[in-house]
Amino acid sequence: MNRKIIIANWKMSVNRADTTRLTRAAGVALGKCGGQADVILASPYVYLTHVSAILPPGITLAAQDVAVPHHPKGAQTGDVSPEMLRDIGCAAVIIGHSERRAGHGEVNDTIRAKVAAARASGLTVILCVGETADEHAAGRGRHVVSDQIHAALFDQPNMGPDSVMVAYEPIWAISGGGGQAATPEDVASMHQFLANYIETTLAPFQGMRLLYGGSVRPDNASVILSLPHVDGVLVGGASLDADALSEIIRAGCAASRP
Ligand code: PGA
């Protein structure tokens, strides 16, 4: 079965009550469509334990970032290690989101180290990549994105297509930055390119799932999910609305093929 993946990235936009409401809504929506899609909820650190305790069946919990531990545990004030995430029921983690690259100085080397650390603890990696508006306008999108993927994954030991997925999130399309979703043609063309790139250059990752993120909403989710080489969507703004999140989960179930 080709199951579509729906990831809700709540960023820093929720309080505890919101996480309860949205987690329950996601569970109901997924239950109603027979659990036909893979749903991942990426909560802020402080609510992970809470969401873990109320996580409906079939839904995976993810963190939005992780630190690289210098030792299994120890003196890293403010950091959260992959082991800690595992300990409280997290199975996945977003790494390399453009908001962390831009706002926290995360460069490709930082992201590669985080990917390795997350995998060493058995977390599934959701690797975010994407070009800026200027890079897009200059026709450099493919170059930038393939470079980001290569830097994070090439020659990483003990990793394969089941332990990592890539979310293509063009920065100019992310709603928080005022963007508008990429056109289906843009998404299809980048995903086709990435599928070929992985086959030729990152062969151990062949078959790795490719997601799209950037202004995904109920009114465009079905079209995006039906595109070739689009295995799922990463949803920010719309995942904060229980009805919108439920509708996108339904679209994911409908687009999953037996
Ligand atoms: P958006 O965010 O859906 O609000 O555009 C996506 C993301 O940044 O992960």
How many angstroms is it from 130 CA to the middle of ligand 1?
Answer: 12
Q: Assess whether the C-beta atom of 176 lies below 6 angstroms from ligand 1.
A: yes
Q: What is the pLDDT of residues 163-185, one digit of tens each?
A: 999 999 999 999 876 778 899 99
- Smallest Cα–Cα separation from 64: which of 29, 37, 104, 27? 104
Condensed to tens digits (0 to 9), the pLDDT of residues 189-223 reads: 999 999 999 999 999 999 999 999 999 999 999 99
Please state, in angstroms and rounded to a whole number, the distance separating the CA atoms of residues 249 and 35. Answer: 10
The pLDDT > 70 percentage for the chain reads 99
pTM metric for this prediction: 0.97
Q: With 90 as the cut, is the pLDDT of residue 24 above it? A: yes
> Tokens 């120890």 — which residue?
74
Does the beta carbon of 170 sit less than 6 angstroms from any atom of ligand 1?
A: no
CA distances (Å), origin 207, targets 62, 92, 153, 162, 234: 22, 18, 14, 8, 18
* Contact 237 CB / ligand 1 (< 6 Å): yes
Instruction: Provide the residue type at 120 as one letter.
Output: A
Annotated active-site residue in 99, 106, 169, 247: 169
Q: If phi over 0 gives left and psi between -120 and 50 gives alpha, with beta otherwise, what is residue 79? A: beta
Q: Whose CA is nearest to atom 7 of ligand 1?
A: 236
Whole-number Å distance, alpha carbon 161 to ligand 1 midpoint, is 24
Long-range pairs, 202-206, Cβ under 8 A, ≥24:
202/149, 202/150, 202/153, 202/154, 204/159, 204/160, 204/161, 205/153, 205/159, 205/160, 205/161, 205/164, 206/161
List, for residues 216-242, the tens digit of each pLDDT value.
999 999 999 999 999 999 999 999 999
Which atom of ligand 1 is least distant from the CA of 237? 4
| CB of 161 sitting under 6 A from ligand 1 | no
Q: Whose CA is nearest to atom 3 of ligand 1?
A: 236
Nearest-angstrom CA–CA distance, 192 and 133: 20
Annotated catalytic residue 71: no
Mean pLDDT throughout 50-62?
97
Q: Are 127 and 167 in contact (CB under 8 A)?
A: yes
Say how many Å lie between the CA of residue 107 and the centre of ligand 1: 20
CA of 8 to the centre of ligand 1 (A): 9
Question: In this structure, are residues 16 and 54 in contact, taking their beta carbons and an 8 Å threshold?
Answer: no
pLDDT at position 175, please?
87
- Of 190, 79, 186, the C-alpha closest to 129 is 190
Contact 63, 45 (CB under 8 A): yes
Q: Rounded to an integer, what distance in angstroms lies between the CA atom of residue 116 and that of residue 152?
A: 9
Q: Is the CB of 235 under 6 A from ligand 1?
A: yes
Q: Are 226 and 175 in contact (CB under 8 A)?
A: no
Closest CA to ligand 1's atom 1: 236
Q: Please pick, among 97, 136, 191, 229, the residue that the annotation labels catalytic.
A: 97
| Distance in angstroms (rounded) separating the CA atoms of residues 172 and 145 | 13
Residue 255 pLDDT greater than 70, yes or no: yes
Known catalytic residue at 169: yes
* Pocket-testing residue among 215, 239, 240, ligand 1, by greatest number of atoms within 8 A of Cβ: 215
Tens of pLDDT, residues 108-154: 999 999 999 999 999 999 999 999 999 999 999 999 999 999 999 99
Q: Is the pLDDT of residue 33 over 70?
A: yes
